[in-house]
Amino acid sequence: MAPPIADRLLTVDLSAGSVESTPILDGWRQRYVGGKGLGARYLYDELDAGVDPLGEENAILFMLGPLSGYLPGDSRYAAITKSPLTGCFLDSYAGGEFPDSLAGALGSHMGLLVTGIASDPVHLVIEDGSATIEAAETWGASTVETARAFPNASVACIGPAGERQIAYATIASDAGDHHAGRGGAGAVMGSKRLKAIIAKGDPPDGLDDLREAYTTKYRETSTGQWLRASGTVETIDFANEIGALSTRGWSGGHFDETDEVGITTVEDRAVGREYAEATTPGGYRVATEEGDYVPRGATAMSLGAGLDIDDFDAVAALGQTCDRLGIDLISAGSAVAWTIKANAADVLDRPLSFGDPDGARALLGEIAERESDLGDALADGVEAAATQFGGRDLVPTVKSMELPAYDPRGAQSMALAYATSDRGACHRRARPIEREVFDGNWGADRTAAEVTREQDQRSILWSLIADDFFGDALDDLGREWLESVSLETVGELATVGERVWNVTRLFNVREGISREDDALPATLQEPLGTGPRAGAVVESDDFDSMLDAYYRRRGWDENGVPTAQTIDRLDLTELTEDFDHLHD
């Protein structure tokens, strides 16, 4: 028997204190599926250009997909809003138990749309297909403390960083083990005085035969084998081996002490793994003075190699600090690295050096509390701090978002992936580095083709919502699964992914994004200092050729705006009222 169809949306207006259940608009499920696609379409419709991300008019959606709770792999939900860090479209994802509980609690609803600002801090309790607004007694608590206040429910919440509207504050779930991390969705919750979403529901059941078949298939993929063996913590070892690991604030591409903070030490120190009995176990759990912690790949890369800290306990403590405060550890690592380099360059007077975990932790506290001029500036991002103090090109950003630790000087295709990501610098939209390093330099046309393909593929996976790692088991991008829930899309699934990518581009263009913002950070034109790729740069002419090829393949003009022909082909004409030239 097919599962019930989720064809409604819960809308909560915190200003009015109202909750409403409405049907998803006609045809939108067929054109945008759910998750990222449906959330992006609602956000585009809900907001006017220029809305303050931290103002009353911004909206935040907590979206599931038509297959939430049924697919193998790590269940996820999407937090979708306008980013306070970038001013662009933002979709951020978190896994664990919360998405399954939310799917059970929402019933026939595919998501939750939250607008307005509460007069006092609140929780939203989701149960039996409805939402209740309740006073939040946990305001001021850490992400872990907030989750523990609801032992019989699953919680997604903000920490102190979200409450103070740090521009890269996260939304934490499962007591801080998982985070919708990048871009500041947690700050949007904080601006609305929304402390937590409390989901009281059992995971949905059904599609057992299909799930069992794909579970076996997933286990046999190379990705499934890799995740069972080591999880994402091994990414630091991979990046280090190929010479693409950002070290010491983007000065080098190799970290001699990788074994001290990477998979070798994590396996030795682990006390277990998340949902260890599952087909693909979750992250390793390690014991710390403050309780168990689950380090991810970015922990060792951004807070270890990036800050030249080779003590595992110190790196874990920094990661745990970020998780409890509810702050994105990639942006946090860049904020610390920028401060170190700014001090060395006499841009500011803040004694801090690489290899100093205590100094880094103190600075993170200042940022989360906004308790100093420097902390307050860094709370709005590295670019905001550079605008106030100087040091604009000390660490790289794209659309104001700090780069993850895969250095494009070690794999040129990542420069294009970062520059064209719809939410700012992001390695999850496309990871061509995993293939390019084995093939040699691809050239502009192939790089554009590979980045475009991956972006479209992940757009449909995140509309299902499927774990993008599980996507390797979906030869048909999920067509068989959608048929099982009787959802027929408008166009092939690859076309749906392309449609979704163009919706987010139109959102960003409406906010003023153009070719000038799909830019190559100046840092990447400086020679890489260490490692197998020492001396490498991303040449500006090569980058421009890749970007030209990408725009051609996308069907966008030379400024990165989708052409009228592309809009018509993807059935997006209803979105172009704000773009007169697209109707010529």
Asked whether residue 194 falls in the same domain as residue 252, the answer is: no
Range of the domain at 340: 208-395
Would you say residue 1 lies in a domain? no
- Are residues 191 and 215 both part of a single domain? no
In whole angstroms, what is the distance from residue 63 CA to residue 47 CA?
17
Question: Does 385 reside within a domain?
Answer: yes
Q: Is 256 exposed, middle or buried (0-12, 13-18, 19+ CB in 10 A)?
A: middle
Residues 224 and 358 in one domain: yes
Structure tokens at 429: 């939209």
Residue 403 inside a domain? The answer is: no
| Interacting residues of 346 by C-beta distance below 8 A, sequence separation 6+ | none
Q: Does the residue 402 lie in any domain?
A: no
Question: Is the domain of 267 the same as that of 178?
Answer: no
Nearest-angstrom CA–CA distance, 96 and 539: 41
Instruction: Please say whether the beta carbons of 13 and 116 come within 8 A.
Output: yes
Q: Cα–Cα distance between 580 and 567 in angstroms, integer?
A: 13
State the CATH number of the domain containing residue 440.
1.10.599.10
Cβ–Cβ contacts within 10 Å for residue 6, how many? 25
In DSSP terms, which residues pair with 122 in a beta bridge?
A: 135, 194
Helix, strand, coil fractions of the chain, as percent rounded to 5: 45, 15, 40
Strand 154-157 to 401-402 pairing: unpaired
Q: Which of 145, 169, 200 is the last residue of a domain?
A: 200
Let me know whether 130 and 91 are in one domain: yes
Residues 264 and 116 occupy one common structural domain: no
Q: For residue 18, what is the enclosing H or E element? A: strand 18-23
Residue 213 C-alpha from the chain's centroid: 29
Could you tell me if 184 and 158 are in contact, meaning their C-beta atoms sit under 8 angstroms apart? no
Residue finishing a domain among 174, 200, 226: 200
What's the length of the chain? Answer: 584
Alpha helix (H) residue ranges in 184-234: 185-191, 208-220, 222-229
* Contact by Cβ (8 Å): 494, 95: no
- CA 20 to CA 440: how far, in whole Å? 54
Q: Does a structural domain hold residue 3?
A: no
Q: Is residue 2 part of a domain?
A: no
Closest CA to 423 of 35, 36, 33: 36
Cis peptide before 327 (omega within 30 of 0): no
**Residue 430 belongs to a domain:** yes
Q: Can you give the CATH number for the domain in which 226 is found?
A: 1.10.569.10
- The answer on 378 and 256 residing in a single domain is yes
* Distance in angstroms (rounded) separating the CA atoms of residues 343 and 338: 8
Q: Which two tokens stand for residue 556?
A: 């966008």
Instruction: Verify that 131 and 216 share a domain, yes or no.
Output: no
Q: Is 422 helix (H, G, I), strand (E, B) or coil?
A: strand
Give residue 90's identity as a one-letter amino acid code.
Answer: L
CA distance 165 to 292: 27
Q: Tokens for 27?
A: 């045809």
Domain count, the chain: 3
Residues 378 and 412 in one domain: no
At position 466, the amino acid (one-letter code) is A
> Along the 584 residues of the chain, how does pLDDT read in single tens digits?
567 789 999 999 999 999 999 999 999 999 999 999 999 999 999 999 999 999 999 999 999 999 998 888 889 999 999 999 999 999 999 998 999 999 999 999 999 999 999 999 999 999 999 999 999 999 999 999 999 999 999 999 999 999 999 999 999 999 999 999 999 999 999 999 999 999 999 998 889 899 899 989 988 888 888 888 888 999 999 999 999 999 999 999 999 999 999 999 999 999 999 987 777 788 999 999 888 999 999 999 999 999 999 999 999 999 999 999 999 999 999 999 999 999 999 999 999 999 999 999 999 999 999 999 999 999 999 999 999 999 999 999 999 999 999 999 999 999 999 999 999 999 999 999 988 888 877 899 999 999 999 999 999 999 999 888 888 888 899 999 999 999 999 999 999 999 999 999 999 999 999 999 999 999 999 999 999 999 999 999 999 999 999 999 999 999 999 999 999 999 999 998 867 655 44
Q: Structure tokens of 34?
A: 């759910």
Among 200, 223, 257, identify where a domain stops. 200
Residue entry with tokens 């939108």: 28
Query: 418 and 381 in one domain?
Result: no
Q: Are residue 134 and residue 251 in the same domain, yes or no?
A: no
Q: Provide the whole-model pTM.
A: 0.97
Domain of 174: which CATH number? 3.60.9.10
Do residue 221 and residue 188 come from a single domain? no
The reply to whether 401 falls in a domain is no
